[in-house]
Amino acid sequence: MQVVILAGGLGTRLWPKSRLKKPKQLQALVSQESMIQNTIRRVLPLASKKKIYIATNQSQLEALKKEVPQITNFIVEPTLRNTGPAIGLAAVSLPEQNEPAAFLPSDHYIADEEGFRETMKLAAQVAERDYLVLIGLRPTDPDSGLGYIKIKKELFEKGNQPVYQVERFIEKPDQKTAQRFLLSGQYLWNAGMFVARPSLILQLFQKHAPQIYQRLRKIQKEPNRLKEEYQKMEEISFDYAVVEKTKQLAVVAGDFSWSDIGNWARLLEILSKKVNANVVIGCEHYGVETDGCLIHGTERLVATVGLKDIIVVDTPDVVLVCHKDKAHDVKKIVDQLKKENKEQYL
């Protein structure tokens, strides 16, 4: 199996810890390892180092090379064009076009690593049958911040992991709808991971996004035209460009615990040992009547009084304070800073 680790994201919902020069995949958020080191260690039993590729962009390349010197294969976007062109570039760059490749985000938290690997092995077997194989997880709560996959007919089953056809996708439903999805048993969380032969990915681009496909082929024939052709590609996600249009889809119902560390509230949830417990990272904290809070600091003492369910992130130049229920809106601060050209804080 080949493995492509997608490491070009900016992680704006984990600002101010995640910055342009050191985004969340380079941060140690849930252990002593950075998120990308954690991801590499998780996949090494599935693929040798020579078959692990990191897909990133020019602005993050040098930092990644320093962070993961054991990996030498980098697929570099000359400019940001979203996941559609990025995955297309990775597919056209892989040397083994008919060997299944796993495409994995660099910032996921997976406690059951053996369960993850068993799921990926099964997905690779299904991918050999010319499917683009998504990884889905059975919901454990009505999370309205995740995408969902409605499953259809069961294609086949191996062990306790059934493989389904996909009926449709639902992006971030409201809480009431997510509760209905949870109770129905017909929906899986979309984990943002998939396995497919690179040759199939390119065939799907040819069918569903022909303009991107044509530019990818030009890049393949003349690599020195990468920058010229890539910047002309439509800025579109892989889901919209290909996944939601193709019928050659299957989804494996993964049997492992998983979390997308998309914001500070999710990190608090992962690290909390019990209800209403505070999570303190990187600093000394004194709290009075402080419950269910995440305190993330550096060297300074952080003191809190009368707080509940609050996120406090203290960095050398920025302090963020927000309610955990509004953690998904941190991105709005980043957007505002961009508009006002406050690049020193990005």
d(CA 12, CA 271): 20
Q: What percent of the chain has pLDDT over 90?
A: 79
d(CA 330, CA 328): 6
Decide: helix, strand or coil at residue 210: helix
Please give the pLDDT value at position 34: 93
Q: pLDDT tens, 71-80?
A: 999 999 999 8
Please give the pLDDT value at position 61: 93
d(CA 3, CA 103): 6
Contact between 32 and 3 under an 8 Å Cβ cutoff? The reply is no
Q: Compute the C-alpha angle 165/166/169, nearest 5°.
A: 170
- Band (pLDDT 50/70/90 cuts) for residue 158 is low
Of the candidates 338, 295, 268, the one whose C-alpha atom is nearest the C-alpha of residue 20 is 338
The boundaries of every CATH 3.90.550.10 domain in the chain are 2-262
Please give the pLDDT value at position 255: 80
What's the whole-number mean pLDDT along residues 114-120? 95
What's the whole-number mean pLDDT along residues 3-14? 90
What pTM did the predictor assign? 0.91
> In terms of pLDDT, which residue wins out, 162 or 75?
75
Cα–Cα distance list, 171 to 6, 165, 189, 222 (Å): 20, 18, 10, 37
Contact between 312 and 290 under an 8 Å Cβ cutoff? The reply is no
Query: What is the average pLDDT score of the chain?
Result: 93
Tokens of 23: 């985004």
What's the whole-number mean pLDDT along residues 202-218? 97
Helices (H) then strands (E): counts for the chain = 11, 17
Of the candidates 163, 129, 164, the one whose C-alpha atom is nearest the C-alpha of residue 150 is 164
Sole residue written with tokens 């799907």:
204
Question: Is pLDDT above 90 for 276?
Answer: no
Q: What is the Cα Rg of the chain in Å?
A: 21
Q: Compute the C-alpha angle 77/83/84, nearest 5°.
A: 100
The lowest-confidence range among 28-37, 38-47, 156-165, 208-217 is: 156-165
Cα–Cα distance list, 95 to 50, 52, 62, 98, 320 (Å): 11, 12, 23, 9, 44
Please give the pLDDT value at position 142: 87
Q: For residue 12, what is the DSSP state?
A: G
Q: For residue 14, what is the DSSP state?
A: G
What's the whole-number mean pLDDT along residues 81-104? 96
- The identity of residue 324, as a single letter, is K
Please give the pLDDT value at position 11: 82
Looking only at the bridges linking them, the beta strands covering 101-105 and 2-6 are parallel
d(CA 235, CA 35): 26
Question: Is pLDDT above 90 for 154?
Answer: no
- Band (pLDDT 50/70/90 cuts) for residue 133 is very high
| Total residue count of the chain as it appears in this document | 346
Phi, psi torsion values for 80, nearest 5 degrees: -80, 125
Q: What percent of the chain has pLDDT over 70?
A: 98
Q: Which residues contact 52 (CB under 8 A, 6 or more apart)?
A: 2, 3, 5, 40, 43, 44, 71, 73
Question: Is pLDDT above 80 for 346?
Answer: yes
Question: Is pLDDT above 90 for 64?
Answer: yes
What's the whole-number mean pLDDT along residues 33-50? 95
Please give the pLDDT value at position 330: 95
219, containing H or E segment = helix 210-221
| Choices 3.40.30.10, 3.90.550.10, 3.20.10.10, 3.40.50.150: CATH for 2-262 | 3.90.550.10
Of the candidates 202, 196, 199, the one whose C-alpha atom is nearest the C-alpha of residue 101 is 196
Q: pLDDT tens, 172-202?
A: 888 899 999 999 989 999 999 999 999 999 9
Contact between 51 and 79 under an 8 Å Cβ cutoff? The reply is no
